[in-house]
């Protein structure tokens, strides 16, 4: 076997190993993004996926109950009841009318259990749509709720 | 004054267009006068953009809030230091800043080579001017930083408007490091334009020989160095400011900065294959092209928000321009390659699997795999939506799963590669070079495992780090011993002498050592601890060897922000060791709250404390404490990396210059020294 063939075999092994690792990592961490109106049409396995949903916090719906925070997200007239069970404090930008992005899973009764909440003050966003910082972390004015969410900032 | 700035920008665009057109005409008609004047126009672009930048800075310092950009990113109470940095706080200013840095590079490249390489420079000048035209079109017509605020009056005509005070600078950017981080990263991004221009120029002009490779390599090293500093400063900023306890989150923007760094690193290695063995010519040209395109892609990801649009936050239409430019660049590159592919024929074949060549090939293979995985993961939301209609994002587990094994394999190659001979390495040489370092690495691994150190990746990282460090030190030692024995000097001055004789090789070793330090720091993250607790006055948290006692909460205010601060006393073994003051600041102009992290950094670990906010239930303050081992090694590794790169860029000291014929090849050729200094050459000609 000449060196070229050996090198190609070695490369093949490396690439296949990496591809397997990538596949495993992908299935572990993939998160679907859905709009609120799409949620009602999801079926089967799609209902149990980890997902992200965004919308505006309906005014007056934020209530703090023991161990969780409940609120209603709305987008294009559709509403979604969300229950935040994360242990991190909610971002300061999380207020009535704020744009929020929640990450978690749907329960069988159509509620959404969120482990992470990011929020962005709506008025600030409209006042200054182009504001992205120099380092270019888009969406920086949103405050996220903790360590894992920082990666989801943008 | 706004007229002044935008006028300077228009003139800069005209100058760039002239540099492009006259350069092209000069190449076609072979008139030196035309190419000369094109190069002068290229240099003039720098002066004109500088005037535009000065004009915008003038608006910031004079608080001119009739300028839309100034009103959006500054306010009266902003400290002068940050008014200066506000230049690159938003899209328009960032793009102007980008053009300006690019023009500095272009100016330097044109100036340094003004009387050199008459066959290469005209082509390079045209390519550089082409890139400048694109950015100047954006500056002038798409994202002008010189827009004024205006509102229609009763008759419908626009009247200039001015705000009493600006919206203020984003509080996240009000941090000293943010003043240096973006310039460094941008100097990296823009710097890769120069190697790109020279590579494309060499290909288009079918420039004979490998001289262009030397030029390209030097400029790549400069850009690579800035890119490294930029990435590390960005990581440090994320760590010190964002307050989530980490420094890297595989955020699309972080990934964007990493991609050209990876391909740039691959190029800096594979270029040696071309210099020494005439191999991988096509590969190298495409690595340079890809690096440049990834830089443009990075700007696209950073500025357009196509990936972050998954989250429905910041967006802009500027992305289309970048996509078009990226497409055009690819077409030009591919056309240039296809027309001149015979120029890139390889001189040699791979001789053995155990050789320097194959270690470089594996290095490039896994670097490209890492680049591909990061790119794929970053763009997945866009790709999946285009293919299946579902937006799917992938998180850190994906990136870590792929990149940790790649990183460890690269660390292994860092130790092995430089000690393998070109063409073929004998078993005997393998034993001689690797027996002791390998034994040292395995021994340290066994000892660590006995002491309960069981995290598998960190354990492998430790073994490899010790192995690589020992190979690097043994290289310095063996070379220095030869010199010390010959000259009768002591070993330490012999190390200096050795290094200066072949700065490129020994600078490279220093950079490798820096990477080891960074790897150790990253491996430490496997042992991170954190704890979060509601705290009243008198409550305590225990983390690692520390106990944190909450002493007080207080409020302060100035005309920039209001602050809520915790006073924490830290005890170790019952003794008070330090005070920490984590803070939350509410910035008045932008109405945004930010955390100010309190970090106590030590060589072995950082104690990192965040005032996380108030509990939604009880209203009590929540304190989040992290104990992050070895983080400081990453920043220290960054400093060593910069020193190593600078060392590698110093020209070699030539003890035997007079003995060589004047036509012999230039710096960086160990073979040239070999004729004069046999003893050293024997120790080193198999390397470099």
Q: Which three-class secondary structure string do you get for B135-169?
A: HHHHHHHHCCCCCECEEECCCCCEEECCCCCCCCC
Confidence of residue B176 (pLDDT cuts 50, 70, 90): confident
Confidence of residue B304 (pLDDT cuts 50, 70, 90): low
- Three-class secondary structure of residue B392 per DSSP: strand
Residues A79 and A9 both lie in one domain: no
Record: contact A24-B401, CB cut-off 8 A: yes
Residues A39 and A6 both lie in one domain: no
Q: Which of A136, A141, A146, A151 best probes binding to B when mutated, by most B CB atoms within 10 angstroms?
A: A136
Q: Which residue in B85, B393, B617 is closest to A64 by CB distance? A: B617
pLDDT for the residue numbered A127 = 33
Å between B68 CA and nearest CA of chain A: 10
Q: By percentage, how much of chain B surpasses pLDDT 70?
A: 92
Q: Which of A49-58, B512-521, B636-645 has the lowest mean pLDDT?
A: A49-58
Record: contact A144-B244, CB cut-off 8 A: yes
pLDDT for the residue numbered A151 = 32
Å between B502 CA and nearest CA of chain A: 30
Residues A72 and A144 both lie in one domain: yes
Residues A10 and A71 both lie in one domain: no
- Chain A residues closer than 8 Å to B405 by CB: 17-18, 21
Residue B311 CA, distance from chain mean position: 26
Record: contact A134-B532, CB cut-off 8 A: no
Give the CATH number, domain containing residue A36. Answer: 2.40.50.140
pLDDT for the residue numbered B338 = 92
Confidence of residue B511 (pLDDT cuts 50, 70, 90): very high
Record: contact A136-B302, CB cut-off 8 A: yes
Å between B664 CA and nearest CA of chain A: 32
Q: pLDDT: is B482 or A123 the higher one?
A: B482
List CB contacts of B648: < 8 A, sequence separation 6 or more: B221, B503, B504, B507, B508, B510, B511
Sequence-separated contacts (24+) of A16-20 with Cβ below 8 Å = A17/B405, A18/B366, A18/B369, A18/B373, A18/B402, A18/B405, A18/B406
Alpha-carbon dihedral sign for residues B423, B429, B434, B439? positive
Q: What is the ipTM of this complex?
A: 0.72
Å between A109 CA and nearest CA of chain B: 23
Alpha-carbon dihedral sign for residues B239, B245, B246, B252? negative
What number is the average pLDDT over the span B291-310? 76
pLDDT for the residue numbered B411 = 93
Residues A95 and A140 both lie in one domain: yes
pLDDT for the residue numbered B51 = 95
What number is the average pLDDT over the span B309-337? 78
What number is the average pLDDT over the span B285-296? 94
Question: Using CA atoms, how far apart are residues A77 and B584, in angstroms rounded to an integer?
Answer: 36
pLDDT for the residue numbered B688 = 41
Q: Which of A99-108, B226-235, B367-376, B648-657 has the lowest mean pLDDT?
A: B648-657
pLDDT for the residue numbered B316 = 61
Residue pair B132/B48 in contact by the 8 Å Cβ criterion: no
Residue pair A106/A140 in contact by the 8 Å Cβ criterion: no
A-chain residue closest to B589, CA distance: A124
A-chain residue closest to B310, CA distance: A33
Strands (E), B446-582: 529-534, 540-543, 546-557, 561-572, 575-580
Q: Which residue in A22, A31, A66 is closest to B402 by CB distance? A: A22
Strands (E), B10-83: none
pLDDT for the residue numbered B450 = 87
- pLDDT tens per residue, range B37-90: 999 999 999 999 999 999 999 999 998 888 888 988 888 888 888 888 889 888
Confidence of residue A128 (pLDDT cuts 50, 70, 90): very low
Residues A16 and A55 both lie in one domain: no
pLDDT at A26 over 60: yes
**Which range has highest mean pLDDT (B191-205, B492-506, B664-678)?**
B191-205
Question: Using CA atoms, how far apart are residues B585 and B592, in angstroms rounded to an integer?
Answer: 8
pLDDT for the residue numbered B686 = 35
Give the up-direction half-sphere exposure of residue B549: CA atoms within 13 A in the CB hemisphere. 12
Q: Which of A63, A98, A134, A147 best probes binding to B when mutated, by most B CB atoms within 10 angstroms?
A: A134
Q: Which residue in A33, A136, A139 is closest to B393 by CB distance? A: A33
Residues A25 and A91 both lie in one domain: no
pLDDT at B260 over 90: yes
Record: contact B397-A28, CB cut-off 8 A: yes
Q: Which of B100-109, B143-152, B231-240, B652-661 has the lowest mean pLDDT?
A: B652-661
Q: Which residue in B250, B301, B617 is closest to A66 by CB distance? A: B617
pLDDT at A139 over 50: no
- Chain A residues closer than 8 Å to B612 by CB: 88-89, 146
Q: How many CB atoms lie within 10 A of CB B510?
A: 21
Quick one: which of B74, B298, B290 has its CA closest to B200? Answer: B290
pLDDT at B575 over 70: yes
Q: Please name the residue that has the structure tokens 């019952």.
A: B574
Residues A39 and A24 both lie in one domain: no
Would you call A111 exposed, middle or buried from its count of C-beta atoms within 10 A (0-12, 13-18, 19+)? Answer: middle
pLDDT for the residue numbered B434 = 85
Residue pair B551/B663 in contact by the 8 Å Cβ criterion: no
Å between B550 CA and nearest CA of chain A: 19
pLDDT for the residue numbered A132 = 34
Q: Which residue in A6, A7, A142 is closest to B313 by CB distance? A: A142
What number is the average pLDDT over the span B472-494? 89
Q: Report the domain count for chain A.
A: 2
Residues A12 and A76 both lie in one domain: no
Record: contact A130-B399, CB cut-off 8 A: no
Separation in Å, CA B201 to CA B45, B385, B459, B622? 20, 38, 47, 59
Domain membership of residue A7 as a residue range: 1-30
Q: Which of B83, B100, B380, B393 best probes binding to A when mutated, by most A CB atoms within 10 angstroms?
A: B393
Question: Using CA atoms, how far apart are residues B383 and B389, in angstroms rounded to an integer?
Answer: 9
Residue pair B638/B228 in contact by the 8 Å Cβ criterion: yes
Record: contact A4-B373, CB cut-off 8 A: no
Q: Which residue in B85, B303, B311 is closest to A54 by CB distance? A: B311
Residues A25 and A36 both lie in one domain: no
Residues A78 and A62 both lie in one domain: yes
pLDDT at B449 over 60: yes
- pLDDT tens per residue, range B196-240: 999 999 999 888 777 888 888 999 999 999 999 999 998 998 888
Question: Using CA atoms, how far apart are residues B46 and B8, in angstroms rounded to an integer?
Answer: 11
Q: What is the mean pLDDT of chain B?
A: 85
Residue pair B236/B247 in contact by the 8 Å Cβ criterion: yes
Record: contact A30-B614, CB cut-off 8 A: no
Would you call B382 exposed, middle or buried from its count of C-beta atoms within 10 A (0-12, 13-18, 19+)? Answer: middle
Q: Any idea of the CA torsion for B259, B264, B265, B268, to the nearest 10 degrees?
A: 170
Q: Please name the residue that has the structure tokens 């160095």.
A: B225
- Chain B residues closer than 8 Å to A14 by CB: 362, 365-366, 369, 409
Question: Using CA atoms, how far apart are residues B10 and B16, in angstroms rounded to an integer?
Answer: 10
pLDDT for the residue numbered B428 = 81
Å between A32 CA and nearest CA of chain B: 4
Q: Which residue in B313, B353, B406 is closest to A3 by CB distance? A: B353
Record: contact B244-A147, CB cut-off 8 A: yes
Q: DSSP assignment of B594-652, as one string?
A: EEE-EEEE-SSEEEEEEEEEE-TTT--EEEEEEEEETHHHHHHHHHHHHHHHHHHHSPP
What number is the average pLDDT over the span B22-30? 92
Question: Using CA atoms, how far apart are residues B557 and B586, in angstroms rounded to an integer?
Answer: 9
- Chain A residues closer than 8 Å to B596 by CB: none
Residue B653 CA, distance from chain mean position: 29
Question: Using CA atoms, how far apart are residues B184 and B677, in angstroms rounded to an integer?
Answer: 40
Sequence-separated contacts (24+) of B356-360 with Cβ below 8 Å = B356/B417, B356/B420, B356/B421, B356/B422, B356/B423, B356/B425, B357/B273, B357/B277, B357/B279, B357/B422, B357/B423, B358/A3, B358/A7, B359/B413, B359/B416, B359/B417, B359/B420, B360/B269, B360/B270, B360/B272, B360/B273, B360/B417
Residue pair B602/B627 in contact by the 8 Å Cβ criterion: no
Predicted structure pTM score: 0.86
Residue pair B250/B258 in contact by the 8 Å Cβ criterion: no
Q: By percentage, how much of chain B surpasses pLDDT 90?
A: 41
Confidence of residue B616 (pLDDT cuts 50, 70, 90): low
Record: contact A25-B394, CB cut-off 8 A: yes
- Chain B residues closer than 8 Å to A10 by CB: 353, 362
Q: Which residue in A17, A88, A138 is closest to B308 by CB distance? A: A138
Q: pLDDT: is B175 or A152 the higher one?
A: B175
Å between A118 CA and nearest CA of chain B: 10
Task: Locate B250 and state its tokens.
Answer: 């595989």
Residues A146 and A121 both lie in one domain: yes
Confidence of residue B567 (pLDDT cuts 50, 70, 90): very high
Residue pair B42/B19 in contact by the 8 Å Cβ criterion: yes
- Chain A residues closer than 8 Å to B256 by CB: 136
């Amino acid at each position: 076997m000449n060196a070229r063939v050996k090198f190609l075999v070695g490369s093949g092994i490396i690439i296949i190993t990496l591809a397997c690792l990538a596949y495993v990592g992908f299935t572990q961490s993939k998160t679907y993004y859905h709009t609120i109106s799409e949620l009602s049409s999801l079926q089967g396995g799609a209902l149990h996926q980890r997902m992200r949903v965004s919308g505006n916090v309906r005014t007056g719906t934020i209530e703090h109950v023991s161990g969780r925070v409940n609120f209603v997200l709305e987008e294009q007239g559709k509403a979604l009841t969300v229950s935040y069970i994360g242990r991190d404090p909610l971002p300061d930008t999380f207020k009535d009318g704020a744009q929020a992005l929640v990450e978690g899973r749907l329960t069988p009764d159509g509620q959404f259990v969120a482990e992470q909440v990011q929020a962005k003050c709506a008025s600030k966003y409209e006042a200054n749509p182009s504001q992205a910082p120099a380092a270019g972390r888009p969406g920086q004015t949103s405050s996220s709720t903790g360590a894992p969410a920082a990666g989801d900032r943008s | 004054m706004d007229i002044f700035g935008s006028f300077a920008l228009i003139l800069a665009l005209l100058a760039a267009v002239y540099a492009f057109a006259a350069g092209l005409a000069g190449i076609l008609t072979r008139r030196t006068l035309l190419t000369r004047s094109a190069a002068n126009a290229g240099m003039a672009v720098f002066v004109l953009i500088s005037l535009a930048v000065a004009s915008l800075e003038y608006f910031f310092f004079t608080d001119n809030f009739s300028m839309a950009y100034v009103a959006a990113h500054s306010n009266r109470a902003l400290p002068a230091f940050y008014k200066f940095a506000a230049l690159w706080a938003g899209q328009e200013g960032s793009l102007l800043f980008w053009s300006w840095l690019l023009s500095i590079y272009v100016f330097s490249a044109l100036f340094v080579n003004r009387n050199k390489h008459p066959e290469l420079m005209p082509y390079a000048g045209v390519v550089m001017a082409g890139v400048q035209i694109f950015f100047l079109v954006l500056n002038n017509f798409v994202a002008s930083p010189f827009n004024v605020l205006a509102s229609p009056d009763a008759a419908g005509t626009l009247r200039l408007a001015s705000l009493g005070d600006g919206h203020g600078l984003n509080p996240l950017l009000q941090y000293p490091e943010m003043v240096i981080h973006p310039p460094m990263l941008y100097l990296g991004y823009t710097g890769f334009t120069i190697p790109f221009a020279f590579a494309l120029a060499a290909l288009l002009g079918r420039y004979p020989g490998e001289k262009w490779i030397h030029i390209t390599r030097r400029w790549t090293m400069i850009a690579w160095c800035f890119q490294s500093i930029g990435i590390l400063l960005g990581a440090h900023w994320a760590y010190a400011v964002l307050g989530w306890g980490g420094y890297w989150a595989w955020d699309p923007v972080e990934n964007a900065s990493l991609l050209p760094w990876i391909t740039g690193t691959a190029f800096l290695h594979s270029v040696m294959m071309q210099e020494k063995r005439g191999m991988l010519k096509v590969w190298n040209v495409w690595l340079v092209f890809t690096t440049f395109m990834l830089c443009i892609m990075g700007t696209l990801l950073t500025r357009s928000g196509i990936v972050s649009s998954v989250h429905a936050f910041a967006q802009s239409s500027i992305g289309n321009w970048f996509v078009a430019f990226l497409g055009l660049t690819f077409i030009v590159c591919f056309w240039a390659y296809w027309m001149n592919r015979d120029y890139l024929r390889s001189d040699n074949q791979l001789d053995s699997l155990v050789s320097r060549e194959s270690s470089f090939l594996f290095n490039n293979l896994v670097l490209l795999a890492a680049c591909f995985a990061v790119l794929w993961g970053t763009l997945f939301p866009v790709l999946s939506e285009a293919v299946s209609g579902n937006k799917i994002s992938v998180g850190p587990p994906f990136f870590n799963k792929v990149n940790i094994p790649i990183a460890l394999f690269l660390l292994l190659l860092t130790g092995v590669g430089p000690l393998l001979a070109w063409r073929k390495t004998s078993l005997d040489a393998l034993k001689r070079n690797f027996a002791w370092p390998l034994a040292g690495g395995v021994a340290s691994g066994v000892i660590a495992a006995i002491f309960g150190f069981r995290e598998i990746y960190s354990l492998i990282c430790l073994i490899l780090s010790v192995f690589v460090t020992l190979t690097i030190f043994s290289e310095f030692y063996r070379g220095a011993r030869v010199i010390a024995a010959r000259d009768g000097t002591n070993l330490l001055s012999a190390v200096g002498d050795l290094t200066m004789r072949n700065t490129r090789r020994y600078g490279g070793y220093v950079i490798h050592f820096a990477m080891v330090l960074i790897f150790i720091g990253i491996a430490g993250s496997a042992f991170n601890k954190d704890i979060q607790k509601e705290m009243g006055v008198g409550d305590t948290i225990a983390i690692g060897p520390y106990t944190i006692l909450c002493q007080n909460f207080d409020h302060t205010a100035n005309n920039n922000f209001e602050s809520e601060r915790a006073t924490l006393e830290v005890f170790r073994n019952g003794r008070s060791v330090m005070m920490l003051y984590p803070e939350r600041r509410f910035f008045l102009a932008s109405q945004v709250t930010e955390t100010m992290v309190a970090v106590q950094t030590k060589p072995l670990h950082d104690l990192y404390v965040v005032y996380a906010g108030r509990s939604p239930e009880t209203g009590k303050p929540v304190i989040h404490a992290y104990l992050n081992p070895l983080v400081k090694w990453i920043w220290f590794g960054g400093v060593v990396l910069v020193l190593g790169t600078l060392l590698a860029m110093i020209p070699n000291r030539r003890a035997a210059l007079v003995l060589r014929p004047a036509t012999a090849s230039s710096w960086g050729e160990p073979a040239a020294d070999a004729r004069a200094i046999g003893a050293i050459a024997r120790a080193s000609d198999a390397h470099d």
